[in-house]
Amino acid sequence: MDRKTLFAFLLIAVIILITPAYYNLLYPPLEPVDTDTTVVETREEAGERAPSTATIKKDELPSPEKEAKEELYYVDTDLYSATISSNNGGSITSFTLNNYLYLDNGLVQLINEENSKNLLLSFRSIDGEKVELSGPWVPVKNVSPGYIEKDFSLEFKKSVGGVWVYKTLTFYHDNYTINVKTDFSSAESFLSQGVFNLSWAGGLPVTEKNVSDDLNYFDSYIYQGGELHSPKLSEEKTAKEDNIKGGTAWVAIRSKYFVGALIPETPGLGGQTSGYKRGDLEKVYNVAVSLAAYQHKNTLLYLGPLEYRRIKSLNVGLDSIMNFGWSLIRPIAKGVHFLLIKMYTVVPNYGIVLIIFSLLVKIVVYPLTKKSYESTQKMQAVQPQLNALKEKYKNDQQKMSQAQMALFKEHGVNPLGGCFPVLLQMPLLFSLFQVFRSTIELRGAPFVLWIKDLSSPDAIVDLPFTIPVYGGHIAVLPILMGITMFLQQKMMPTQASGQQKFMSYFMTIFFTLLFNNFPSGLNLYYTLFNLLTILQQKYLTPVTTHISETALKRK
């Protein structure tokens, strides 16, 4: 070993030996905190750091048995009735929505055993231990508000290492939001990097009669930079957590019609979300948002219906989790939704609204429908000449195509003219499907007689078994819709034959079976539209026949 190498090793050894002494000189040891001293109450203003020399020890972790016992508080508004526990510094153990029925029997309850330990605060200590501020907290004001007509707050505190951590829930009488204010100003030095988590575990319960359909919409989200992040479900009891760092506008969990979202006043430092399947009929999701103790004081909890107007008014992009279909369909679906809601303010029955809506659509597409019938009549008129061309050029497909196009051009026939109204109807039908299937304003909306919910099939008989495509019930409107489709086919001026006739009948039967599981609102609209089309055909057929014959004679 040469002299330079030996000198280098000696220098490294000296550095290693003197480093501890050097750090002790720069950072003298902290004085230990006396665990028997009285808890010091210090409240710092939002956004200010609180200096503290305390370090966290295992014997200083909160002890629920010594601090307090669980207390319950009751909050009632016109929108909901809630029970708040002092556990977790204010967790919601019951949240009943006053304006929504659960499975046609009782009011919707958004809290169950799975998610009752919500709004938990947790952090990593400077020693790397995970600390959860669970168990009962001490109420600052031991008052149960009952019915509130103005904003009301419940405040709790918990001892951490000889200082207090505060958490305040503020309820508002006229909306579904609850402000969660946290104050770690006195205990910030206990938190690794000054960061804590606010979480909602256990997702939301099933609220719909069709459980499998409800579960199709269950999900959780992290919203960062205008993009949604959602976890993949695990088959295991414990899901792998997705931890995404960066400015987080909100985290949320949802069911088909309801949502719970944690929305920091300023974007959080990151979000966590996870989910797992438990059996065939359960999906459980957890979400949390990471917050800085010195910066993040207020986080808004929205717990309630996925009502577009309310969700949109939060101005945080939460409406992006609502189901309005593909990007091309979404603007149409939102327009249809807006129009139906506005019409409902004048005509308070969505069934009647649909009748009016069908008439409006028919009026809008009338010019195209008229053109379609004219084109169909012209096609029927040139059919003999077309058959002659087919016979003449049966062995030369290219000449046949050229002669056919020349014939169409001569008589002003557009072979695709009859497709325009259908093509126009397709995006509208898709939009209506999305609106009636997943819009809470239409949930439980009745029409007349047996049609008690326009957002679900109008079943009159439940079958003891499930048929693929058809489902496990018999609905009336799909059958009526199928009859109207059959009548339309019979009234077509050009009757199909052979394989075409078979396919038209097959498609009528297929759609009748398929629509059996569709929302009755969509089936009602389609049936009404078909009836109006039949009346239109009856009125237009003589007119278009005359127009077509006149046009052909001129040719």
**Non-local CB neighbours of 497 within 8 Å, separated by 6+ positions:** none
Give 50's pLDDT tier (boundaries 50, 70, 90). Answer: very low
DSSP string, 139-155: ESS----EE-SS-EEEE
pLDDT in the model for residue 277: 81
Which sign does the torsion angle of CA 120, 113, 254, 84 carry?
Answer: negative
pLDDT in the model for residue 236: 63
pLDDT in the model for residue 181: 96
Q: How is residue 232 written in tokens?
A: 């993949």
DSSP lists the bridge partners of residue 171 as 152, 178
The edge-to-edge listing of strands for the beta sheet with 242-248 is 130-132, 120-125, 191-201, 283-292, 268-277, 242-248
- The pLDDT tens digits of the residues spanning 490-504 come to 776 555 556 667 777
Q: Which is higher by pLDDT, 363 or 12? A: 363
- The pLDDT tens digits of the residues spanning 357-404 come to 888 888 887 777 777 777 777 777 777 777 777 777 777 777 777 777
Q: How is residue 35 written in tokens?
A: 């665990």
- The pLDDT tens digits of the residues spanning 66-99 come to 557 899 999 999 999 999 999 999 999 999 999 9
Q: What dihedral do alpha carbons 144, 146, 149, 150 form, nearest 10°? A: 20
- The Cα-based distances of 54 to 38, 60, 134, 254 in angstroms read 14, 11, 21, 40
Mean pLDDT of 231-250: 78
pTM of the model: 0.78
- The pLDDT tens digits of the residues spanning 462-483 come to 888 778 777 788 899 999 999 9
The domain ranges of the chain are: 69-322, 332-554
pLDDT in the model for residue 56: 43
Q: How is residue 258 written in tokens?
A: 């309801």
Cα 212 from Cα 203, distance rounded (Å):
16
Q: Please determine, for residue 412, whether its predicted confidence score (pLDDT) is greater than 90.
A: no
pLDDT in the model for residue 199: 95
Give 552's pLDDT tier (boundaries 50, 70, 90). Answer: very low
Instruction: Report which listed range, 10-14, 223-227, 506-510, is most confident.
Output: 223-227
- Topology at the third CATH level for domain 69-322: Beta-galactosidase; Chain A, domain 5 (2.70.98)
Contact predicate 56/190, CB 8 Å: yes
Cα 55 from Cα 65, distance rounded (Å):
22
φ, ψ for residue 543 (rounded to 5)?
Answer: -65, -50
Low-confidence winner among 17-26, 237-246, 359-368 (lowest mean pLDDT): 17-26
- The pLDDT tens digits of the residues spanning 95-111 come to 999 999 876 678 999 99
- What does R_g of the chain's alpha carbons equal in angstroms? 34
pLDDT in the model for residue 415: 62
Q: Is 348 helix (H, G, I), strand (E, B) or coil?
A: coil
Q: Which is higher by pLDDT, 232 or 235? A: 232
- The pLDDT tens digits of the residues spanning 242-260 come to 888 999 999 999 999 999 9
Q: Please determine, for residue 544, whether its predicted confidence score (pLDDT) is greater than 50.
A: no
146: left (phi over 0), alpha (psi -120 to 50) or beta: left
What are the start-end ranges of the E strands in 133-267?
A: 138-139, 146-147, 152-160, 163-171, 177-183, 191-201, 219-224, 227-229, 242-248, 250-254, 258-264
Give 238's pLDDT tier (boundaries 50, 70, 90). Answer: low
pLDDT in the model for residue 239: 63
- The Cα-based distances of 17 to 10, 11, 20, 298, 425 in angstroms read 11, 10, 7, 47, 81
pLDDT in the model for residue 496: 53
DSSP string, 303-317: EEE--HHHHHHT-SS
Give the whole-number percent of the chain exceeding pLDDT 70. Answer: 77
**Average pLDDT of the chain?**
80
